[in-house]
Chain A
Amino acid sequence: MKQSILDTESEIIEEFEMFDDWTDKYQYIIDMGKSLQPLSDNEKTEQNLVRGCQSQVWLTAHTEGENVVFQADSDAIITKGLIALLVKVLSGNTPDEILAARLEFMDKIGIREHLSPTRANGLNAMVTKMKAYALGLKSLKG
């Protein structure tokens, strides 16, 4: 049985609770970013771009059975690490599950400063694009 979005969120929250200080936390995010499978250059298209001010994010989605699978990349490692967390939580779930996700883990692991809409590649913009993909894929199936 697949892991629910909430369970993955809890897992991440637990991991972050083990970090004593910000360096460990950011080192973890950096390592997540480095280990995220990069997109190929021909997938880094205008269409896949999440508009941001300082760093660029590309996001693709396709379905495998019932589930949506996300892939993402960024030119900045911290941004890439943050989106890797989102991919880990949301990828492999159904469109309805993705659309219903509240993603409270972002608050709980203390990365709220990345949520501001003016912040370069606010996570909000990424979440919105991921949910838009889910909605689009749902209507294609529907």
Chain B
Amino acid sequence: MSIKNIEAIRMDFPVLHQKVHGKPWVYLDNAASGQKPLPVINAISEYYLKYHSNVHRGVHYMSQLATDKFEAARKTVQHFLNAEHDHEIIWTTGTTEGINLVAATYGRKFLKEGDEILITGMEHHANIVPWQMLCEEKGCVLRVVPVLENGTLDMASFYELFSDKTRFLSVVHVSNALGTLNPVKEMIKHAHSKNIPVLLDGAQSSCHFAIDVQDLDCDFFVFSGHKVFGPTGIGVLYGKTEYLEKMPPYKGGGEMIETVTFEKTTYAGLPFKFEAGTPDIANAIGLAAAMDYIHSIGWDVMEAQEKFLLEYATEEILKIGGIKLYGTSPEKCSVLSFLIEGIHPYDTGTILDKMGIAVRTGHHCAQPLMGRFCIPGTVRASFAFYNTKEEVDALISGLKRIKTMFL
């Protein structure tokens, strides 16, 4: 494995080498979306330039070639997640669709009135609303594991919230707003001891460390391509075969059928049962290129850089004084959520933008979590492996400047 230094890695990301408002662009909004390395961009254009054809239906050469690459991409995802079978990899448009798919198929078929669905207080809206919709339709009840002051889950409550009516656990692997890495293996083990299936929302974990769905033993795992440095508009639902097989289809159309007559349609097997219509071929190929790229850099290199950036930024930001951090779990990913006391996050974000520094401000699509801390939102700087110490320094000096402008 070749270990590139950060400057060499940054050369793979053309978008980073730009100026915003006349200043070098500092991109610290990686938890919202990761940037794309050249191999991803090239894989997508190569597909359109050299072998675009529809998949799974043509006898002609290019259709076969496109099908081979498309199905090879599925295998790449299988290995990325260490799934047992490639038919357990279902293409979606992203995390949101993955959760909606499970709620609308497994949820509708197997959950009934009075059944309880367990989530946590640090879910983003995509892991709240689909379950609320299911609850409204079926009369199920949503139970929520509380979040402690340091941004970790109240595990005592987690155990207490299980009842003889609990039927499903859907939990975020890593919190987008706080960075907290949840003890999901422990949670999955407990749920399984009561025969309750578990969905892991991997939107924020799959970009930070290697995922092994067999080791985690989750029944479903969902994530978005764009957060793992792949294209927008594509994502993945992993499901164990035993669950996917007993779930009804999600959308109807071409690709997902075996035979169609006006009297009766029979459905295709896995994974095609869940993939109606022409799939997002180009972006599936682009996502596989992103995963190959990650492996070429190496998780160890990426994790080491992110750990360094988080520790350095945390240390430096606390030196400024008058700054409160949200999410101080000992187990966390490279997300720094904070408020400068007395300054609204929108004000901080607006001035940082003027300095060329991109952060996220607001409720991070996790309004209940912000409510938990009684704040309108936070400023969130989130680091990727291609960020540098100098970029953290720019953030810190920006924050110092902001304090003098507002206070």
Contact = CB atoms under 8 A, between A and B. Distances in A.
Interface size class, chain A: 10 to 19
Contact of A54 (B351, B354, B362, B406): B362
B350 A78 contact: yes
B376 A56 contact: yes
Interface of B: 21, 343-347, 349-351, 354, 361-363, 376-377, 405-406
Contacts of B363: 54
Contact of B344 (A23, A27, A76): A76
29 contacts: A22-B21, A23-B354, A23-B405, A26-B350, A26-B354, A26-B405, A27-B405, A30-B405, A30-B406, A54-B345, A54-B349, A54-B361, A54-B362, A54-B376, A54-B377, A55-B344, A75-B376, A76-B344, A76-B346, A76-B347, A77-B344, A77-B347, A77-B406, A78-B346, A78-B347, A78-B350, A79-B344, A120-B346, A120-B362
Contacts of B346: 54-55, 76, 78-79, 120
Interface in A54-78: 54-56, 75-78
Contacts of B361: 54
Contacts of A23: 354, 405
Contacts of A120: 346, 362
Contacts of A1: none
A28 to B, nearest CB: 11
Interface string A69-102: 0000001111100000000000000000000000
B249 to A, nearest CB: 35
Interface of A: 22-23, 26-27, 30, 53-56, 75-79, 120
B405 A55 contact: no
Contacts of B377: 54
Contacts of A56: 376
Contacts of B349: 54
A23 B355 CA distance: 10
Given A22-B21, A26-B354, 19 more contacts: A22-B354, A27-B405, A30-B406, A54-B345, A54-B346, A54-B361, A54-B362, A54-B376, A55-B344, A55-B346, A56-B376, A75-B344, A75-B376, A76-B347, A77-B344, A78-B347, A78-B350, A79-B346, A79-B347
